[in-house]
Amino acid sequence: MSTEAAPARSASAAPQVALRRVALVPAFNEERNIGRVLDELRAFDPGLDVVVVSDGSTDRTASVAEARGAHVIRLPFNLGIGGAVQTAFRFAWEEGYELAVRVDGDGQHDPSQLGAVIAPVVAGEADIVVGSRFAGEGGYRSSAARRVGIRILAWVVSLIARQRLTDTTSGFQALNRRAIGLYAVDLPHDYPEVEGLVMAIRHRVRLAEVPVTMREREHGRSSIGALASVYYMTKILLALFVGLFRRRVTPLEDET
C-alpha cells in the first residue's frame, strides 16, 4: 500500500517534484492578507494543494480562501495557532501527503522563498526544515523585547538539540511524512513552533535551517502583544523544562 491509493485530490498533475505536497495555512481573521498568500502559493507551484484552517475567524477569511480554490477547514471557535496547525497536519496525514509546508495566513512568509525551504526535505537530508530569519543576513525588525525572547528561546533549544538553531519561533517550515505523522498526533497548543521542535528533537527527527527573509504584516496586528510575550516566555520555558521529562508520544506511521 502506498500513497497512490489515496484519492487524487490535486487537480493538476505534479510537474517537477513527484511528491504529493500541500501547503498548510493557518489563518485567524486574515481576509485582507489571505488572498495574496494563496495567489503567491499558486504562482510558486500550481501543483501544490492548499489547505486553509480558519481558526474561528469572524471575518470573510474562509470564503476568500474558498473563492481561490483552497480547501478550507473552518474551526467552530478559536483554538489558537497550535490547535489550528495540528488540524492541518491531521488532514495532511489522512490525505496521504508526503510533503507539507507551513505558511502563515498573515502574509509574513513569502511563498517565493519556499523552494529553499523545501529543498533539504526533498533531498532527504532533513525531516523538518525551518526558514530562519536570523540564519542569513536578512534583517528582521521587531520590538526589542520580542527579539530578546526569540534569541533566548533559540539558545535554549540549541542546547537541547545540540545543534545550532537560530530561529525556533518561525512557522515557515517544510516537513516530510514522518514529521507530519508526529505533529498530527501531538503538537503543543499555545506556542507550537518552539515546543514542537524540542519534541521533534526528542524523536530524533532531523532538523535543518535555511535563511529566509520575512515580511512585515500588511494588514492587522500580530496575535502576540508585548505583555503577552512575557507570559508566553514563562510558559514556554516551563513547557520546555517539563517536556524534557515527558514520555514520548507514539507518532502515526503508515502501514506497510
**C-beta of 105 vs 188, nearer to other proteins:** 188
Question: Applying CB under 8 A, which residues contact other proteins?
Answer: 76-77, 189-190, 234-235, 238-239, 242, 245-247
Q: Which is nearer to other proteins, 155 or 231 (CB)?
A: 231
Q: Which of 155/241 has CB closer to other proteins?
A: 241
Shortest distance, CB of residue 234 to other proteins, whole angstroms? 7
Please work out, in degrees rounded to the nearest 5, the angle formed at the alpha carbon of residue 27 by the alpha carbons of 147 and 55.
115
Residue whose C-alpha cell reads 537530508 in the numeric block = 125
Instruction: Please give the full DSSP string across 3-44, using - where no structure is assigned.
Output: GGGS----SSPP-S--S-EEEEEEESS-TTTHHHHHHHHHHH
Question: Shortest Cβ distance from residue 225 to other proteins (Å)?
Answer: 17
Q: What distances in angstroms separate CA 156 from CA 92, 202, 232, 241, one per listed residue?
A: 30, 14, 15, 10
Kindly state the smallest distance separating residue 22's Cβ from other proteins, in Å.
24
* Beta carbon nearer to other proteins, 48 or 62: 62
- DSSP category for residue 225: -
Cβ distance to other proteins smaller for residue 141 or 247? 247
Q: How far apart (Å, rounded) are the C-alpha atoms in residues 128 and 98?
A: 12
Residue with cell 495555512: 25
| In the complex, minimum distance from the CB of residue 90 to other proteins, in angstroms, rounded to a whole number | 17
Min dist CB 203 to other proteins, Å, is 16
